[in-house]
Chain A
Amino acid sequence: MIANKKKVKREGKEFPILVYPEKCTGCRTCQVRCSIRYLGEFNPFRSYVIVARDHGKRTTALDFTDDCTWCGYCARFCAYGALVLKKSVKSGKGGR
C-alpha cells in the first residue's frame, strides 16, 4: 500500500480511500465512474482519478487530481481491491 498523499481533511472529511496500486489491473472503471458523476460524460481522460498503466512492467500508478472531492465514489466500483473504501473495511465489507 502506498502512503496516501492527502493527509489534510477536505471539507471536514478524512480521505476515504485505501489505495493498493499493486492490485490495480488498469481497467479504468474508477475513472469512467468519476467522469460521469462529476463531468456528465464517460471519459477517463477527464477523471479526477489518474491511472497510469505500464503494460510491460504490469504495474499501475494511481493518484488523484487536485479537483478530487474525496467522495469515494470511484472506490465503490473497484472490483480488484486497488481502491477500497475505509468505511467498508471497518464494516468488514471491503477488500476483495
Chain B
Amino acid sequence: MAMFGYAGQILRIDLSTGEIKKEALNPEMANKFVGGIGMSAKLLYDAVKPNTDALSPGNALIASSTPFSGTVLIGANKTDWTSKSPLSGLAQTASSGDFGTNLKWAGYDAMVITGKAEKPVYITIFDDEVRINDASHLWGKDLYEATDELWDQYGDNCTILCTGPAGEKMARISMAYTNKIASAGRKGSGAVPGSKNLKAIVAKGTKGLKAAHTKELLKKADEIYDRYQQDPLLKQWMQLGTTIAIEQYGKEGKAAWKNWRESYPVDKHLSRFGVQEFLKVREISIPCMLCPLGCKLLYNLREGEFAGLETLQSCNVGAVLGYGPKFDLVGYNQVAKCHDTANRLGLDTVEFTAALDFVMELQERGTIDEKVTDGLKLERNLDTVLTWLHKAANREGFGNVLADGYPGIFAALGQELRKDAIQRKGGSPDFDARGVFGTEIFGIAVGVTGAHANFALGPTVIGGREPAWLRRYCQRIGISEEELDRVFSDPSGFNVARLTRYVERWNFLLDIMGICSRPPLARLYNLELITELYNLVTGVDLGSAGLLSAADRGLTLLKLFDISQGATREDDYLPERWLTEPFLVAGKEVWLHDYYNTKRLTKEDIEILLDDYYEERGWDNDGVPMKKTLTELELTSL
C-alpha cells in the first residue's frame, strides 16, 4: 500500500559483505517514530550492539529524511545524521543539509550503512540503482576537491556527503559535510565513514513523492510562506545568517577566550568581527535545497590577507567565535582562512578550537611544557591555528593527540585533567553557563547527544525574559497546564531542569519533521500546525499527543542507547570549573547563577535540578527510564 509523505523503503548497505538491501518501511514504525531523529533513534538502537567501538564495523551511519522533506513546507527539509559518536561514545545526531531530500526522492526514507569496506569506496544512489564504487582516486583528497570531482562526474543535481583527510584518519573531532557546507554533526561524524573506508555518498532521486491532501497542504504552505515574508528580521537573516548574533554575543560577554576564563574585549570584538567587517567578505547566500532563507554563505576575500580566497560557511557565528576571539585573530580574513583549512581537511571547528585552547592553557600555567607540543610554544595567533589544524588532520606529532579532542588529551596527558576541561561527554559546550543559565546550559549536562545541547536551545538563550513571556512560549510548544504549573512554581521564576525537558521534546519534534532551528523558520510552526500538516502530508492523524509521544519516544530511546553504551548519572553534570571559578567579563567576576540572577548556584543545586529533570522525564535517580515510562511510550519490547 502506498504511503503518502513517505518513500516506503529503508536502504541498508553492509560494506563488509557488499550486500545492498531495500526493506519496506513498516507503517507501524513510521507511526511510532515518524522520521528524522525519531526514525534514526530506532534504527541506531536496533543496529548497534551494546558497548560497540564507534570506529568499528559494528557502528552504523544512518541518514533519515522526514515526512515533510521534499515537499513545499519551507524550512522543513533537513536530514538527520546519526551514529554512535567516536568522541562521546554515546549517540550523536545532526539535523543538517538536504541529503535526505534526494534520498527520499530516490525512494528511501532512511539509509543504514554498517560494516567496513576492504578498500576505499563511495556509494552512489540513483533511484533504484545503488552501487558501491572504488574510491581509490578520491582517498586522500581534501573534502572540497573530492566533492567537486564527484559533481563533475555525476552532475550538479546530486547531493554529496563527503569526509576529508581527517575523517579518513579517524580523527575523533572530524566532520563530514553535505555539499561542502552542511555538517553531518559534531563529535566525529567524519570518522565514522572514515572507519568504514567510505569516502562519500552521492544521491539523486527523480521519483518525487505525493501528499495525501495536496490542495489543502498547498493552501497551508502558502499561508506559512506569507507569514515568513512578514518576519521583520528576514532581510537581516538573509544577508547575515547566524552572523546576525555576532555583535550581541560580543557585547554580552559570550565570546570566550583563554579557555573560558575571560570574555574577549568588546571593543576588539566589534572592530574585528562586527557586522560591517563581515559585509566586506560576504559574497552570496547559499541555501539548503528548497530553503528561502539561505543562511549559509560564501566568503570572498576581495582584498587584504589571503585575497582571492573563496570559501563556504554554514554557522558563521560558531566559526567566528571559535577562531576569532579564542586565538586573537585580527579579522574575518584570518577566520576565513582557518575555516577553509578546517573544512577542506574535514575537521570540526568547535571541537578543534576548544581542544587547542585547553592545551594552550595547560602550557600557559606550566602543566605541560613545549616538549609535549613538538617543541612549539602555543601562542594565540593565526600561525598556531593553521599549524595545528594540519598536524591534527595528519595525526602528526602532538596533532595525533589533538585529533581525538578532549578524550585524546586525557588519554595522553592524564585523566585527572578531566576536571580542568570545560567539556562534557568528551565534547565542548557552545555557551558559557556563567552568563545566562537557561535550558541550553542545563542541556549541556543532560543532553543525550552530548555537550552540544542543540535540543535544549530555547528562548532562555537570551537573558531576562519574563516568566509570563516564557509561559506563552511554552503553550505554543504544547506544554500542558499541569506541566506548566510544575515548571513555573519554582520560587526563582521557573525550574530550568523541568523546562529543559519540554524544550527538548519540542526540538526533537522539529527534528523529527526536519524543521530547521533557524528562528525565522522554526517560529513559523507550532504544535497545532505541525499536527495538521502531518495529517495533510501523510493522511494519518496521530494527533498532537501522538506526535509529542513520538518525540519523547525518540529521545528516550537515545537515552536507552546511551545507557547500553555505558552512560550513567555521572555523565550528566556541568563542567566542574563552571561551579568553582568565575568568568571575567570586562574584569568583573561573574559566577554561576540562576536565570534571573537571584542566587549563586552550587553543586548541590545542580544535583537537585538533575533529580527534577529525571522526575519530569519519568526516569529514576540514576537517569534510567522507569518501566512505567517505557510502557507509556510503548518501548517495553526493548
| B-binding residues in A (CB < 8 A) | 25-29, 32-33, 35-37, 40-46, 52-56, 58, 77, 79-80, 96
Minimal Cβ-Cβ distance residue in B for A78: B292
Minimal Cβ-Cβ distance residue in B for A25: B287
Chain A residues contacting B238 (CB-CB under 8 Å) are 79, 96
Q: Are B290 and A27 in contact (CB under 8 A)?
A: yes
Partner of B70, one of A32, A79, A96: A32
Q: Are B289 and A28 in contact (CB under 8 A)?
A: yes
Q: Are B289 and A27 in contact (CB under 8 A)?
A: yes
Q: Are A27 and B292 in contact (CB under 8 A)?
A: yes
Known interface pairs A36-B218, A42-B71, A54-B156; A25-B294 also in contact (CB < 8 Å): yes
Q: Are A35 and B208 in contact (CB under 8 A)?
A: yes
Pull 13 A–B residue pairs with CB atoms less than 8 Å apart, ordered by A: A25-B284, A25-B285, A26-B156, A27-B287, A36-B214, A40-B210, A41-B210, A42-B211, A44-B157, A53-B156, A54-B156, A77-B72, A77-B292
The CB with the most chain B CB atoms within 10 A, among A52, A54, A55, is that of A55
> Min CB distance, A58 to chain B, in Å?
7
Please report the C-alpha to C-alpha distance between residue A64 and residue B52 in the assembled complex, in whole angstroms.
52
Kindly state whether residue B602 has any CB partner on chain A within 8 Å.
no
Interface residues of B in 150-166 (CB under 8 A from A): 151-152, 156-157
Kindly state whether residue B209 has any CB partner on chain A within 8 Å.
yes
Partner of A33, one of B72, B157, B206, B294: B72
Known A42-B105, A45-B208, A56-B152; further 17 A-B contacts with Cβ < 8 A: A25-B285, A25-B287, A27-B289, A29-B290, A29-B292, A32-B290, A36-B72, A36-B218, A42-B71, A42-B72, A45-B206, A54-B156, A55-B156, A77-B72, A79-B293, A80-B292, A96-B235
Cβ-closest 3 pairs across A and B:
A43-B208, A79-B292, A41-B208
Please report the C-alpha to C-alpha distance between residue A41 and residue B495 in the assembled complex, in whole angstroms.
46
Kindly state whether residue B377 has any CB partner on chain A within 8 Å.
no
Please report the C-alpha to C-alpha distance between residue A41 and residue B285 in the assembled complex, in whole angstroms.
28
| A-binding residues in B (CB < 8 A) | 70-72, 105, 148, 151-152, 156-157, 179, 206-211, 214, 218, 225, 235, 238, 284-294, 298
Partner of A58, one of B207, B288, B298: B298
Q: How many A-B residue pairs have CB under 8 A?
A: 79
> Min CB distance, B203 to chain A, in Å?
14
Q: Are A80 and B285 in contact (CB under 8 A)?
A: yes
Minimal Cβ-Cβ distance residue in B for A40: B214
Minimal Cβ-Cβ distance residue in A for B147: A55
Minimal Cβ-Cβ distance residue in A for B228: A79
Minimal Cβ-Cβ distance residue in B for A54: B156
Minimal Cβ-Cβ distance residue in A for B157: A53
Known interface pairs A42-B71, A53-B156, A54-B156; A28-B294 also in contact (CB < 8 Å): no
Chain A residues contacting B157 (CB-CB under 8 Å) are 44, 53
Minimal Cβ-Cβ distance residue in A for B218: A36
Chain B residues contacting A36 (CB-CB under 8 Å) are 71-72, 211, 214, 218
Please report the C-alpha to C-alpha distance between residue A33 and residue B225 in the assembled complex, in whole angstroms.
12
The CB with the most chain B CB atoms within 10 A, among A42, A45, A52, is that of A42
Please report the C-alpha to C-alpha distance between residue A46 and residue B235 in the assembled complex, in whole angstroms.
31
Majority DSSP secondary structure for residues of B touching A? loop
Partner of B225, one of A28, A32, A46, A77: A77
Q: Are B206 and A32 in contact (CB under 8 A)?
A: no
> Min CB distance, A31 to chain B, in Å?
9
Chain A residues contacting B208 (CB-CB under 8 Å) are 35, 41-43, 45-46
Chain B residues contacting A28 (CB-CB under 8 Å) are 289-290
Known interface pairs A36-B214, A58-B298; A42-B293 also in contact (CB < 8 Å): no
Known interface pairs A35-B208, A40-B210, A54-B156; A80-B294 also in contact (CB < 8 Å): yes
Partner of A25, one of B71, B105, B179, B286: B286
Known interface pairs A25-B284, A32-B70, A33-B72; A43-B105 also in contact (CB < 8 Å): yes
Partner of A27, one of B105, B284, B294: B294
Chain B residues contacting A44 (CB-CB under 8 Å) are 157
Minimal Cβ-Cβ distance residue in B for A60: B156
Please report the C-alpha to C-alpha distance between residue A51 and residue B317 in the assembled complex, in whole angstroms.
31
Minimal Cβ-Cβ distance residue in A for B294: A25
Please report the C-alpha to C-alpha distance between residue A27 and residue B284 in the assembled complex, in whole angstroms.
13
Please report the C-alpha to C-alpha distance between residue A54 and residue B209 in the assembled complex, in whole angstroms.
25
Please report the C-alpha to C-alpha distance between residue A28 and residue B284 in the assembled complex, in whole angstroms.
17
> Min CB distance, B208 to chain A, in Å?
3
> Min CB distance, A78 to chain B, in Å?
8
Chain A residues contacting B71 (CB-CB under 8 Å) are 32, 36, 42
Please report the C-alpha to C-alpha distance between residue A43 and residue B105 in the assembled complex, in whole angstroms.
7
Minimal Cβ-Cβ distance residue in A for B288: A27
Please report the C-alpha to C-alpha distance between residue A40 and residue B291 in the assembled complex, in whole angstroms.
20
Chain B residues contacting A54 (CB-CB under 8 Å) are 156
Known interface pairs A56-B148, A58-B298; A27-B214 also in contact (CB < 8 Å): no
> Min CB distance, A47 to chain B, in Å?
10
Chain B residues contacting A27 (CB-CB under 8 Å) are 287-292, 294
> Min CB distance, B33 to chain A, in Å?
22
Minimal Cβ-Cβ distance residue in B for A31: B290
> Min CB distance, A82 to chain B, in Å?
12
> Min CB distance, A34 to chain B, in Å?
10
Please report the C-alpha to C-alpha distance between residue A58 and residue B179 in the assembled complex, in whole angstroms.
13
Please report the C-alpha to C-alpha distance between residue A45 and residue B291 in the assembled complex, in whole angstroms.
18
Chain A residues contacting B152 (CB-CB under 8 Å) are 56
Known interface pairs A32-B72, A41-B210, A46-B208; A55-B148 also in contact (CB < 8 Å): yes
Minimal Cβ-Cβ distance residue in A for B152: A56
Chain A residues contacting B148 (CB-CB under 8 Å) are 55-56
Please report the C-alpha to C-alpha distance between residue A44 and residue B209 in the assembled complex, in whole angstroms.
10
Q: Are B72 and A43 in contact (CB under 8 A)?
A: no
Chain A residues contacting B72 (CB-CB under 8 Å) are 29, 32-33, 36, 42, 77
Please report the C-alpha to C-alpha distance between residue A35 and residue B291 in the assembled complex, in whole angstroms.
17
> Min CB distance, A44 to chain B, in Å?
8
Please report the C-alpha to C-alpha distance between residue A26 and residue B290 in the assembled complex, in whole angstroms.
9
> Min CB distance, B179 to chain A, in Å?
8
> Min CB distance, B284 to chain A, in Å?
7
Chain B residues contacting A79 (CB-CB under 8 Å) are 238, 292-294
Please report the C-alpha to C-alpha distance between residue A80 and residue B290 in the assembled complex, in whole angstroms.
12
Q: Are A56 and B214 in contact (CB under 8 A)?
A: no
Please report the C-alpha to C-alpha distance between residue A36 and residue B211 in the assembled complex, in whole angstroms.
9
The CB with the most chain A CB atoms within 10 A, among B152, B284, B293, is that of B284
Please report the C-alpha to C-alpha distance between residue A26 and residue B298 in the assembled complex, in whole angstroms.
14
> Min CB distance, A8 to chain B, in Å?
30
Chain A residues contacting B225 (CB-CB under 8 Å) are 77
Q: Are B209 and A56 in contact (CB under 8 A)?
A: no
Please report the C-alpha to C-alpha distance between residue A23 and residue B545 in the assembled complex, in whole angstroms.
43
Partner of A42, one of B179, B210, B298: B210
